[in-house]
Chains A and B, each alone.
Chain A
Amino acid sequence: MADPFAVKDCALIAIATGEHAQNLREMRDHLLTVHPGCIYHHFWGGMLQPRFDEPEYMNDFAAWAWRGLHDPGLAERLALIDPTHYRDLEELRRELLEVIEERLDETEMVPWSRTGQAFHFIRSRIVVFDTRIRISHPRELRDRIGQLPLGSVFYHFVDARRRAPIGKNDFSAWLMSLDGDWSELAEILGNVDPYFTTLAELRREFEEVLKAYAV
């Protein structure tokens, strides 16, 4: 019998690195060396940080290209980078650099931002705590997921990709450890796309998957 699923919750605290980019070349140069936590924060950290519910772009690099550089073409290309498609943050960093270098190659002038519109590199630290909630059967997961804190959704579904050995979410990993054949459900949950959405929508999507599977 596998252990019950221990629901954890988390909170992020953002840290300014002090590094900033005023133009696209500086952005490229900083991206070569910034802490990988910055890449993570600017793609995923927004899910747990203050932001408007209708963001025009899902990652901070694309939003800066739009608002700071006024370069809509670059903003669109950066916005299309889906971080879930890359094995790790270094691969994601390389893709970002690829898109930016391509833009630098094709423009005669380096796109630049006004004073006060620079891109500031931020990383975050995560504090994880036990909610003391235990789930012992997938049926309970179905019944309770709608009430789980959004921080738990972030931790078990988004953050898990950085730490679980298979790079999947914690729920799928737990289902695979249970007696009985839960591999199909684990795979369906694993295929839920956590990007281009909010944590509340993600939680709702999870709930729908579990109900549709008729656990």
Chain B
Amino acid sequence: MQCEGIQVNGLLQKYAQIVGEEVVDHLRQLAEPLRGLKVVHVNSTREGGGVAEILSWLVPLKNELGIHTEWEVVTGSQEFYQCTKGFHNALQGNRVEIPGSLLRAYEGANEENADRLRSSLEEADVVFIHDPQPAPLLRLCSGRRGKWIWRCHIDLSRPYRPVWKYLRGFVEGYDASVWSLAQFAQPLPHPLYLIAPSIDPLSEKNRELTPDEVLGVAVRFGLDPKRTAITQISRFDRFKDPVGVIRAYRLCKEYTPLQLVLAGGGATDDPEGEQVLREVRTAAGDDPHIHVLLLPADSHREINALQRFSQIVVQKSTREGFGLTVTEAMWKGKPVIGGDVGGIRLQVVNHHTGFLVNSPEGAALRIRYLLKHREHMLEMGRKARQFVRNNFLLTRHLREYLTLVHAIRHEERERIELNGLQSGL
């Protein structure tokens, strides 16, 4: 057997210890013909939210594979963020009327960002624009020479039509779009690729913690180490139904001593969070066993510890993109009781890795079931971790991004044979 050596690098090697050498070799081979390409990712926040988390590992790994990858962030006024939050809610189905003044702020902010980023974006071989916030940049970079891809992380299955009609004008000119699930996609006049998100097992939010570290965080937040803990980690957002989780907890607590943790960070692009947080605190009242924690955006280790401290993790969303908090909890060996929506369905396999529910009552029923059948709860947790290892770690995600870049650069072919194909630089 002959096999030419391939350069071994540090960061990828760390992942090889978790996913296996074979998986990392596969990435190196897939990336080899793309060495030297210039790729730029653009989103609207450097921290907070799933997109920033994905980019924080995707960018260095692509660079390690020899693809020159940059990450740019668009910025704007408060009106810009108000507008894009309105988009976010409307695209997930809420009837949100967005005033013309906010739309002008949105377009104006993109013009200012385009002035700042134009030279970098126009010379890139591949540009990934994440979500609606920077979508108009395509039109504003008329000298672009590469392929432009719109990466939509939002569930667009039932958007509020007037808002989608407005945004569609900005995104239909892209060479392709990428969606987390087929059912999230809207028809557009270009190929609609599918890539499910993933988590980074070595990140502060997912790395292994010692029992002392976990306990230390729990005690710091006033949790009782002897009481069963149920946790939902999410932004304070109505689509995550935190008030419904409180109701589920109240339906269970008379049967077993429980404590509920509702913890989430704020994101710089989410001005509505404070209002929802007030509603949650009102619903929690003076129950000393409900812990509502507003965490700074960099509380990754705390979130990690809270998930590990809990016996059951809940993600009772009524609308959800992919639901990375579900993936995180499963990676920590926790069964997840999740809303029967969006990407949660792809991860929570009923009776195997958790339960899918449609109401606070359904969540309460499953919490009670798991607490009564502790062995089954542990077995589900083991299956959940294995399921994430096989399917939802960043190495799979990176492989699909690399495959996508090959596909977009050879779009006329159904089958792409890389032998002899070079990056084309």
Contact pattern, A 12-32, Cβ under 8 Å of B = 1, otherwise 0 = 111111101000000000000
Main secondary structure of the interface of A (DSSP, over half): strand
Cβ–Cβ < 8 Å partners of A147 in chain B: 22
Q: CA–CA, A54 to B352, complex, Å?
A: 9
Count how many chain B residues have C-beta atoms less than 8 Å from C-beta atoms of the other chain: 48
* Contact between A16 and B185, CB atoms less than 8 A apart: yes
- Which of these binds chain A: B64-72, B105-113, B296-304, B415-423? B415-423
Contact of A52 among B32, B192, B195, B349 (CB under 8 A): B349
* Contact between B407 and A13, CB atoms less than 8 A apart: yes
Q: CA–CA, A131 to B3, complex, Å?
A: 8
A176 at the interface (CB under 8 A from B): no
* Contact between B3 and A132, CB atoms less than 8 A apart: yes
Q: Please judge, given known A-B contacts A127-B407, A130-B418, whether A16 and B1 are in contact too, CB under 8 Å.
A: no
Q: Kindly identify, within residues 1 to 53 of chain A, every residue whose CB is under 8 Å from any CB belonging to chain B.
A: 9, 11-18, 20, 37, 50-53
Closest beta carbon of chain A to B140's beta carbon, Å: 27
Q: Please judge, given known A-B contacts A11-B399, A13-B400, A134-B2, whether A129 and B29 are in contact too, CB under 8 Å.
A: yes
Cβ–Cβ < 8 Å partners of A14 in chain B: 182, 193-195
A111 at the interface (CB under 8 A from B): no
Contact pattern, B 180-223, Cβ under 8 Å of A = 1, otherwise 0 = 00110101000111111000000000000000000000000000
B25 at the interface (CB under 8 A from A): yes
Q: Kindly identify, within residues 48 to 92 of chain A, every residue whose CB is under 8 Å from any CB belonging to chain B.
A: 50-54
Contact pattern, A 109-131, Cβ under 8 Å of B = 1, otherwise 0 = 00000001010111001111111
Closest beta carbon of chain B to A122's beta carbon, Å: 6
Q: CA–CA, A134 to B187, complex, Å?
A: 44
Cβ–Cβ < 8 Å partners of A11 in chain B: 26, 30, 399-400, 402-403
User: Which A residues form the contact surface with B (CB < 8 A)?
Assistant: 9, 11-18, 20, 37, 50-54, 116, 118, 120-122, 125-136, 140, 144, 147, 149-151
User: Which B residues form the contact surface with A (CB < 8 A)?
Assistant: 1-4, 22, 25-26, 29-30, 32-33, 157, 179, 182-183, 185, 187, 191-196, 341, 346, 349, 352-353, 386-387, 390-392, 396, 399-400, 402-404, 406-407, 413-419
User: What 8 A-B pairs come out closest when comparing CB atoms?
Assistant: A120-B182, A50-B391, A14-B194, A129-B418, A16-B182, A16-B192, A13-B403, A11-B403
CB pairs A–B below 8 angstroms (28 shown): A12-B403, A13-B195, A14-B182, A14-B193, A15-B192, A15-B193, A16-B182, A16-B192, A17-B192, A20-B182, A50-B346, A50-B391, A50-B392, A52-B387, A53-B386, A121-B182, A125-B403, A125-B407, A126-B415, A126-B416, A127-B407, A128-B415, A128-B416, A129-B32, A131-B29, A132-B3, A133-B2, A147-B22
